[in-house]
Structures are given as structure tokens and as C-alpha cells.
Chain A
Amino acid sequence: MHPAPSVIIFSSLSGAGFGLLFFLGFGFPTVTGWVAFVFYLIAYALAVGGLMSALFHLGNKKNAVKSYSQWRTSWLSREAWCAVAALLVMGLHAALQVFFGTTVAPLGWIGAILSLATVFTTSMIYAQLKTIPRWNQPATPAFFLAASLAGGALLSGNVDAALILMVVLGAITAWHWIKGDRRFAEAGSTIETATRLQGRVSLWEKPHTGENYLTHEMVYQIGRKHAAKLRVIALALMVVIPVAVLLIFGPHHMPAIVAVLSHLAGVLVQRWLFFAEAEHVVGLYYGAHGAKRAG
């Protein structure tokens, strides 16, 4: 899949933002006044900034409001609902904490759960797609949730939780890659099932000499060697470096900032790979994924 920067930035940043809201909602830490203001500013900048960048991805923005109508069937519509509900509930919770110094705990809990639900609905937009076997696996929601919680724990200064969550995130990400490399063959779509022709089938001529929306959007291919290197970089930035920094230097300001930046950079690389490595079955009609046939 084409790794569109707007979508990658959206899912990484808003994930971390909603993760931070999750911890703030449950009162880890319980903040009021100016401290609360700064925390919520960061959380909303990440979450809302991410959502805005997703809006830029739309071809016809004026109809975006209609995306609230199909929550019964569409995960994208459910995401829109959850995001607005989470931001409104947490907004109220935040206003009470910032301006009145009062914490209404149950309100925070509801907001926290809605924040995590938003991340889950985002992940299901990808995980539901049978056409992209690499995404169509339980590890997809697992890693979106783990990334959001790890980022949230880091940003909210819950160092112990952050250490554990980052290690969990590393493990889930590795599993997503290992399983993901097998998913295309498991799903069983080949150029033979795509064409139902007899014998060994290969593309002889494309429909057009040039590119089209489909090849641009869905037949993006990345070299294996390239991918392997980026996987190492992603894991190092997202897990190894922040964990090492926090363990060695302890939870002080400078190391914490290094850890957060490194972690977020790692999540961006991981999200880039999530898209760039994803093989859409339509590629079979364009001569792609030949090496992915079932054993």
C-alpha cells in the first residue's frame, strides 16, 4: 500500500495523543491547574492534529460530516464517533481539572475508555480488510493499542508502565511482522485464483502502459533488504533506545524527552512499514506478489 504521509502521521500521533488521554483519564497522574493545562494541550495537539492530517487525505472533504451516518456497518464511521465522543468527554474532564481544580473520576474513566476505543476502531479499519492479508490479523489491533498505551505512558511520565508497555509493543510488532510475512500465502489468493486460468499464469500485458490510481495506491512494493533494515531501525528507536535511556539515566527531564522523541520516531517508521509492506491482492492483476504464492 502507498505509505501516504498524512495517514501515517495521523495514526502515529493521534495514537499517542489518545494514549496520553487514557492515562490522564484514569488519573495517572491526577493533574489540576497549569500542569493539567500543559498535559491536555499536548494530548489534544497530538490527537486533533492527527485527525486533521487524516482529513487532508480525503478527496471530497465537504462530505466528511456524512461519515457519522454508517456506524452500524463501517469501522471508519465508528472511529469518527469514538473520536468525537472521547474528545468531548475528556474536554469536559480537562476543563474541570484545569479551571476548577476538581476531578470527577468517573468522567475521566469514561473518557479514557472512549480514547482507547478510538484507537481500537482505527486499527479495525485496517484489520477488517481481507484484501490486505498482512493487516487482516489480530496482531493489528494489538499493536495499535500497545503503541498508543506505550506512547501514553511515556508522555504521562508513568515510567514503570512505559518500560513494560514498550517491551510488550516490541514483542507484538515482531509477531506482526513474522505472521504478516506469512499472511498472503495463508489467505490463498494467487494469480491463478484471480484469473481462474489453467496452468502457470503470469501477466503478459498491463491494461495501460502508465500508472493508474490502483497501481499508485495499492501496488506499492518495497525491497526486502530495505524492509529488513527499517524493521531494525523501527525496533531500535521505538523500544530499545527509550528503554535503555530510561533505565540508565532514570526518569529525569532530558532523558525522558530523548526517550519520547526516539519512541515517536520509531512508531513513525513502524507505521511507514505497516503501509509500505502491505500487499493488496489486486496487485495480482498487475503482476505483483509472484513470490508470495502458497508453499
Chain B
Amino acid sequence: MTALPSHTDKKLGLVIDLDTCVGCHACVTACKGWNTQNYGAPLSDQDPYGKPSGTFLNRIHSFQSQPETGLARTTHFPKSCLHCDDAPCVTVCPTGASYKRVEDGIVLVNEDACMGCGLCAWACPYGAREMDQAAGVMKKCTLCVDRIYNENLPEEDREPACVRTCPAGARHFGDLGDPTSAVSLLVADRGGVDLMPEQGTRPVNQYLPPRPRDTIADVMTGDEDILAPFLAPVAEDPKGFLGWLDRALEKL
């Protein structure tokens, strides 16, 4: 049923640390690796040696932010399904393929029921759902539901592939509905936030903002600037042949 449960027993999800993510894309690869050969249709690629595109459940964006004063900084920004409490992708689904589980809050697609209309992807603000172009069904992060409860895997592997693989420890997995869990404590400690709160989706996944940077002096200031006089432009207003060339090129 695509009605959302009024309550879920657990709120399993991810906490993503924007301070430690180094943008290596290891989680992207691990996610694609696990999910292309386990539950559901494989994650296909199209035209890999031409104009490549493909299905991914997790992607890393990188942003630049310029504060009022000081240097701009870059932040690597992993994004996968946030397993929203008020998931708009679920309620729009006409077939009942999309649902949110009562036991742990994971949002899943039953591919045997999906008709590939794409409406759920339109309803998600975060771009967390992608229609597989080969299978014609909707793919999304499963929170590695086939790992976290999988008794055939060694204990330490019973967590999402992206979390398990992250070399920087930037992804954490746990129950965000339990205020005493390690992830909830981490969120409280670091001031974790919802993405696009104005969309009213109440995401379970939380993002930890980058910590303030140490102060680094701007380049080319103070005594360090010994090379500056040599770098001043030589001819501000070119004359002679250069001037003619400049004007001729300008006219083209």
C-alpha cells in the first residue's frame, strides 16, 4: 500500500559527515557493485564508451561555498535516498510498488509491481530515484536491506556497502529513531541537519555540516607578496603591432 505508515518501529538511515568526506566516490562504486548483482534488476549503463550514462543509487556532488569573508571552500556531497518519514515518492505511486516499511522505515520499490511511470522520481526533491533505462523499472537506495539483515555475511559486513567501504568514515549507519544510538548522539553532537526542510519530507538521513576551518591567510597578502611587482601587467594599453592585432581581433 502506498499510504505511509503512521509510525515506524525503527528509523534506519545514514548520517553523512560533510566534514570528512573526501569525494573519492568509493561509496558510489561499492553501491553500484553490490546493488547491480544482488536484489532486483542490475544497474545498467548506456553507451559506456561513447556518451556514457547509467543508473546509480548514490552520487557525489561537489559544491563551492563562499562565506562573507575569507576563502571559498569545497564540500563533497554524497547523496542517496534519505528514507523520508513523509516520503512523497511513496504516496504518488499508482501501482503500490513504492512503500515504506513499518518495521524499520526503509523506503523500497517492489520491481515486480512497478510500471515505470517515473512519477515517484518526479516527486522526490533530492533526485534519489532513477529509472533504469534497460529494465524500465525504478531503482533507488535500498539501504542495503539485503546486507544489513543477511546472516550469510560476517557480522562486520552487515551494514550498507557504502558505509562499509568509505575510507574516510564519512558515512554512518544506524537507528535515528532511537535517541541513544551512536548515530543519534553523533547528530546531536555535530548539529546534523535535514536537506531541503521546506519540502516537508522529514528525511531520516542527516547531514553533518563541515566544521569551521582553521584560519589560513589569504595568498598574496602581507610580506609574502614579494613577487607582486614582477607580475604587474607590462603593457596596459598595447600600442604598435600588438595594438593593431588587439583591435583586429576585437573586431572579429
Contacts and interface: CB of A to CB of B under 8 A. Distances in A.
Interface of A: 1, 57-64, 66-70, 72-77, 80, 125, 128-132, 187-189, 191, 193-208, 210-214, 216-218, 280-282, 285-286
Contacts of B67: 198-200
A132 B131 CA distance: 19
A193 to B, nearest CB: 5
Contacts of A62: 115
Contacts of A128: 92
A281 B198 CA distance: 11
Contacts of A217: 118, 121-122, 131
A59 B136 contact: yes
Given A63-B95, A74-B91, A214 B113 contact: no
Given A73-B91, A129-B122, 18 more contacts: A1-B122, A57-B117, A58-B136, A59-B136, A63-B116, A66-B97, A70-B93, A74-B93, A76-B92, A76-B93, A130-B200, A189-B125, A195-B65, A197-B75, A197-B209, A207-B28, A208-B59, A285-B61
B63 A195 contact: yes
Interface stretch (B46-54, B155-163, B242-250): B46-54
B244 to A, nearest CB: 36
Interface centre among A125, A132, A285 (most CB of B within 10 A): A285
4 closest pairs, A vs B, by CB? A59-B116, A59-B136, A207-B59, A60-B116
A187 B66 contact: no
B64 interface: yes
Which of B51, B64, B127, B136 has the most chain A CB atoms closer than 10 A to its own CB? B127
Contacts of A61: 115-116
B213 to A, nearest CB: 11
B77 A70 contact: no
Contact of B130 (A193, A203, A212): A212
Interface in B140-194: 193-194
A194 B82 CA distance: 13
Contacts of B135: 59-60
9 contacts: A60-B136, A125-B119, A188-B198, A193-B196, A195-B65, A196-B193, A197-B209, A208-B53, A282-B124
Nearest to B78: A207
Interface in B83-130: 88, 91-97, 112-119, 121-127, 130
B130 A196 contact: no
B214 interface: no
A196 B116 contact: no
A58 B117 CA distance: 5
A197 B56 CA distance: 24
Given A69-B95, A201-B65, A213-B131, A76 B117 contact: yes
